[in-house]
């Protein structure tokens, strides 16, 4: 199946006073209709910039963008602003992290929905208003028609995100990009919103990209996961593969830092040591080496590339450790050993 959205070798750099920020450094991914891709990474890993760039929202005098983002035969990176506006909010729609600040506080929710519809469809205001009511109903807002007349501040957090989703759906997009859609919401509401996105996707057959720092979020909804670190994808694979046999030490760290309800209470969470790397002064070699418990001297010099994991279809990783070593290390870690212990027992290759 040909992908709906196909991003190849995307680079995004920002000129700042402190220097050149390499926010996205050669990222490739694709989404098919009806499938969900999860992009996971911590703050500053370039995951949001990646999605915003697809939408053309990072364009500016100090931004340099290269690569391609093919959508229906059109390269969104090379497209003119006018061409891009035709696609934006129409065929590729986006929802954002904080639903309160993402809606204009001075306009009624209905007005904002109508604006989204009328930007891409030549319909009367009355028709657009009716359609807005249907959209709010579709995303599960009770008394939808009445709610059109309300302002965003009169909505709860979950309702606002539902309204944002309704707005994104207003022109039947083929691709929906959700940038941390549940981060600002209560846990119970989070689940509802994810369920809603999954349900709508099934109904409308959209390709969905969910960007998050929370592996728990993508575990439920994504078919495929890409883990980003320092502006690059360091591991990619089917969701099950990634949770069962993750291959990158960073992914291990992410998995180890999730609290498990089933574990003993005194079990300690293992955070990833150190801080996210500077995107101005990228660490040499493997960008993860300063924080990697399994680092070897040569890892500081060689820059790893995304390579297929042997005997594991569709799974690829950018790690300099030997496949066997990785398997052994993960076996120890998933058995509950701490990184130092695992490292002492497995000869690093």
The reply on whether position 120 binds another protein by CB under 8 A is yes
Quick one: which H or E segment has residue 277?
Answer: none
Supply the minimum distance, in Å, between the C-beta of residue 102 and another protein.
5
Quick one: which H or E segment has residue 118?
Answer: helix 109-120
- Going by C-alpha positions, the residue among 348, 330, 262, 347 that lies closest to residue 339 is 330
Supply the minimum distance, in Å, between the C-beta of residue 112 and another protein.
8
Supply the minimum distance, in Å, between the C-beta of residue 126 and another protein.
20
Q: Interior CA angle at 98 toward 207 and 47, to 5°?
A: 50
Stretch that binds another protein, among 5-13, 108-116, 255-263, 317-325 (CB under 8 A): 108-116
Q: Which residues have CB under 8 Å from 263's CB, separation 6+? A: none
The single residue among 64, 104, 125, 301 that binds another protein, judged by CB under 8 A, is: 104
Q: Which residues have CB under 8 Å from 264's CB, separation 6+? A: none
Supply the minimum distance, in Å, between the C-beta of residue 37 and another protein.
19
Of 64 and 104, which has the nearer Cβ to another protein?
104
Of 120 and 131, which has the nearer Cβ to another protein?
120
The reply on whether position 80 binds another protein by CB under 8 A is no
The single residue among 35, 47, 88, 147 that binds another protein, judged by CB under 8 A, is: 88
Residues 240-269 that bind another protein (CB under 8 A): none
Quick one: which H or E segment has residue 220?
Answer: helix 215-221
- Going by C-alpha positions, the residue among 49, 154, 55, 46 that lies closest to residue 110 is 154
The single residue among 119, 245, 278, 325 that binds another protein, judged by CB under 8 A, is: 119
The single residue among 2, 43, 73, 81 that binds another protein, judged by CB under 8 A, is: 81
Q: Which residues pair with 69 in a beta bridge?
A: 7
Of 13 and 48, which has the nearer Cβ to another protein?
48
DSSP 8-state class, residue 286: S
The reply on whether position 183 binds another protein by CB under 8 A is no
CB burial of 87-102 (b: ≥16 within 10 Å; e: otherwise) equals: bbbbbbbbbbbebeeb
Of 96 and 250, which has the nearer Cβ to another protein?
96
The reply on whether position 208 binds another protein by CB under 8 A is no
336, with CB counted inside 10 A (0-12, 13-18, 19+), is exposed
C-alpha 91 chain-centroid distance = 18
Stretch that binds another protein, among 99-107, 280-288, 303-311, 317-325 (CB under 8 A): 99-107
> Going by DSSP bridges, is the β-strand pair 207-212/36-40 parallel, antiparallel, or unpaired?
parallel
Supply the minimum distance, in Å, between the C-beta of residue 52 and another protein.
8
The single residue among 42, 86, 214, 223 that binds another protein, judged by CB under 8 A, is: 86
Site size for another protein (CB under 8 A): 31
Distances (CA, A) of 45 to 8, 18, 42, 291, 326: 18, 18, 6, 14, 23
Of 114 and 318, which has the nearer Cβ to another protein?
114
The reply on whether position 200 binds another protein by CB under 8 A is no
140 — alpha (psi -120 to 50), left (phi > 0) or beta? left
Q: Which residues bind another protein (CB under 8 A)?
A: 52, 55, 57, 81, 85-90, 93-94, 96-98, 101-108, 115-116, 119-120, 151, 153, 164, 167
């Amino acid at each position: 199946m040909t992908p709906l959205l196909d991003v190849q070798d995307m680079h995004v750099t920002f000129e700042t006073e402190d220097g050149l920020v390499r926010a996205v450094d050669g990222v490739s991914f694709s989404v098919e209709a009806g499938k969900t891709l999860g992009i996971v990474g911590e703050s500053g890993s370039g995951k949001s910039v990646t999605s915003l760039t697809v939408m053309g929202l990072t364009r500016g005098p100090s931004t340099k963008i290269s690569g391609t983002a093919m959508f229906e035969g059109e390269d969104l990176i090379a497209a003119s602003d006018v061409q891009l506006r035709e696609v934006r909010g129409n065929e590729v729609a986006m929802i954002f992290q904080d639903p309160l600040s993402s809606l204009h506080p001075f306009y009624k929710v209905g007005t904002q929905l109508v604006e989204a519809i009328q930007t891409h469809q030549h319909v009367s205001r009355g028709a657009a208003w009716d359609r807005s009511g249907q959209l709010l109903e579709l995303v599960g807002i009770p008394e939808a028609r009445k709610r059109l007349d309300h302002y965003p501040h009169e909505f709860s957090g979950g309702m606002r995100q539902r309204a944002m989703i309704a707005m994104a759906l207003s022109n039947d997009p083929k691709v929906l990009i959700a940038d941390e859609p549940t981060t600002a919401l209560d846990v119970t509401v989070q689940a509802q919103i994810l369920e809603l996105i999954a349900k709508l996707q099934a109904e409308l057959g959209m390709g969905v990209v969910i960007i998050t720092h929370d592996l728990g979020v993508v575990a439920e909804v994504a078919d495929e996961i890409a883990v980003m670190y320092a502006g690059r994808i360091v591991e990619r694979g089917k969701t099950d593969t990634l949770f069962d046999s993750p291959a990158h030490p960073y992914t291990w760290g992410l998995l180890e830092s999730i609290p498990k309800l089933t574990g003993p209470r005194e079990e300690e969470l293992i955070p990833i040591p150190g801080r996210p790397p500077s995107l101005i002064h990228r660490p040499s070699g493997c960008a993860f080496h300063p924080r990697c418990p399994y680092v070897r001297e040569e890892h500081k010099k060689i820059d790893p590339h995304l390579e297929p994991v042997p005997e594991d279809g569709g799974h690829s990783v950018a790690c300099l450790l030997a496949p066997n070593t990785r398997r052994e290390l993960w076996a120890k870690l998933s058995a509950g050993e701490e990184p130092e212990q695992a490292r002492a027992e497995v000869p690093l290759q």
